[in-house]
């Protein structure tokens, strides 16, 4: 199909596509757990009219997107009717019925650990993580100013994040809750990004290593009899490393997942391929789906890099739940997007997720559609 014909069909908001007289349908396997499913992150935008959202959603659905991830908390403001966060607008309430009209699932995308709400960091500075030099992320955040992360070991922090998940779970038509930044800051940031922040990280340095707050130190000392600040080389101490992994895992598995399940909501997360660097042992989390951010250019990678890390993640999950390869659209032209989708599926992904929908132009959507159309149907 020519691009002009494709765009014409999209303009009509059609969900199906007639190709050589044969109606194309999404790729399903006889095994329902193997159905290809595709996602798109959508950054917050309150200015787009409802009719334009409907057209955008029709384009997405037609091209093969099944679920959208609208950003409804960005660490500063909520974009739904929250009762405990500053509200920038009730965007989720608008998006849900419009997306449903086009047959899309809606999973609310929320930042988890960063909190850049002045009322919180001014009144509760003790909630925030502390690096190996004793510096709070409120006073000296790593890399960028918004890296003001909360401590995953503190019960008050758990309660604060739980409130958000509980509020979202009350939306009957919402399909799921999507956790982002559910981790600690990068102790070693992706190699291609290091020049941007004027750092060279050939090992773990204390100024980027978290968390050494009183609660984390006390809990670790209760478990081991050791104050982590007294370790000769904290970066090489496996129990201390595992303690940080577990602090995030316990928040996810013991606090957030039960809330979602109680309200019959799916729960997923955006996760890192180099999970050790962000203390994010996600393969042991009890989630319904994982969307690893395979942003190849951050790691000087190509589509083969995407394939390798997709396979690595799928293997780690051992078929327990699906993995959807997160693709960084700004660094993929339409042909490269086609390759990235194909290698992801070849490596065992249950589909892909696009970061982000606004970076997709007509050629990208056509490329995505053409690639997904070629996926065999059992």
- For the stretch 65-79, pLDDT in tens is 999 999 999 999 999
What SS3 class is residue 271? strand
Distance CA 45, CA 126 (A): 33
Phi, psi of 289 (to 5 degrees): -165, 150
Bin 290: left if φ > 0, else alpha if -120 < ψ < 50, else beta.
beta
Average pLDDT over residues 22-28: 32
Contacts of 265 (CB under 8 A, 6+ apart): 168, 169, 174, 175, 176, 177
Q: Write the DSSP string, 7-51.
A: HHHHHTT-SSEEETTEEE-----SSGGG----EEEE---SSS-HH
DSSP 66-125: -EEEEEEE-SS-BSS--SSS-BS--HHHHHHHHHHHTT-EEEEEEE-SB---HHHHHH-G
Pairing of strands 324-328, 289-292: unpaired
Q: How confident is the model at residue 309 (pLDDT cuts 50, 70, 90)?
A: very high
Mind listing the pLDDT tens digit for each residue in 159-215?
999 999 999 999 999 999 999 999 999 999 999 999 999 999 999 999 999 999 999
The pLDDT of residue 2 is: 40
Residues 46, 78: Cα–Cα separation, whole Å: 12
In this prediction, residue 125 has a pLDDT band, given cuts at 50, 70 and 90, of very high
Mean pLDDT for the stretch of residues 229-254? 97
Average pLDDT score over the chain: 92
* All structural domains of the chain: 3-373 (3.20.20.80)
For the CA atoms of 92, 93, 94, 95, the dihedral, rounded to the nearest 10 degrees, stands at 40
3-state secondary structure 320-337: CCCEEEEEEHHHCCHHHH
Read off the pLDDT band of 294 (50, 70, 90): very high
- State residue 375's pLDDT score: 82
User: Cα separation of 247 and 94, whole Å?
Assistant: 35
- What is the pTM for the complete model shown? 0.92
pLDDT digits (tens, 9 = 90+) for 2-19: 444 444 444 433 333 322
pLDDT greater than 90 at residue 115 = yes
Confidence band for 34, pLDDT divided at 50, 70 and 90: low
Contact predicate 219/153, CB 8 Å: yes
Mean pLDDT, to the nearest integer, of 278-294?
98
């Amino acid at each position: 199909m020519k691009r002009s014909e494709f765009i014409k069909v999209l303009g009509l908001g059609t969900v199906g596509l007639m190709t050589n007289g044969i109606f194309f349908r999404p790729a399903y396997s006889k095994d329902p757990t193997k159905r290809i499913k595709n996602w798109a992150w959508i950054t917050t935008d309150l200015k787009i009219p409802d009719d334009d959202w409907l057209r955008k959603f029709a384009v997405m659905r037609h091209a093969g997107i099944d679920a959208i991830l609208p950003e409804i908390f960005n660490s500063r403001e909520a974009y739904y009717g929250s009762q405990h966060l500053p509200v920038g607008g009730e965007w989720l309430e608008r998006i849900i019925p419009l997306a449903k009209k086009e047959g899309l699932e809606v999973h609310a995308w929320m930042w988890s650990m960063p909190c850049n709400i002045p009322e919180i960091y001014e009144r509760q500075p003790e909630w925030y993580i502390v690096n190996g030099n004793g510096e709070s992320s409120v006073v000296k955040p790593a890399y960028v100013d918004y890296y003001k992360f909360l401590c995953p070991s503190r019960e008050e922090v758990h309660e604060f994040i739980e409130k958000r998940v509980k509020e979202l779970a009350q939306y009957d038509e919402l399909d799921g809750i999507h956790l982002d930044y559910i981790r600690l800051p990068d102790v070693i940031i992706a190699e291609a990004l290091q020049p941007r922040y004027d750092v060279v990280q050939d090992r773990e340095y204390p100024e980027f290593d978290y968390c050494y707050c009183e609660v984390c130190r006390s809990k670790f000392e209760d478990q081991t009899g050791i104050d982590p600040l007294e370790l000769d080389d904290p970066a090489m101490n496996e129990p201390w490393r595992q303690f940080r992994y577990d602090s995030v895992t316990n928040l996810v598995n013991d606090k957030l997942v039960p809330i979602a399940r109680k309200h019959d909501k799916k729960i997923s997360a955006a996760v890192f391929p180099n999970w050790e660097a962000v203390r994010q042992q996600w393969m042991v989390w009890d989630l319904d789906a994982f969307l690893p951010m395979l942003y190849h250019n951050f790691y000087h990678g190509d589509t083969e890099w995407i394939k390798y890390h997709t396979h690595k993640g799928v293997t780690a999950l051992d078929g327990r739940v699906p993995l959807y390869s997160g693709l960084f659209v700004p660094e993929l032209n339409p042909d490269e997007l086609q390759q990235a989708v194909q290698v992801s599926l070849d490596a065992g992904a249950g589909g892909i997720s696009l970061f982000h929908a606004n970076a997709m132009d007509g050629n990208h959507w056509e490329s995505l559609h053409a690639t997904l159309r070629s996926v065999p149907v059992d």
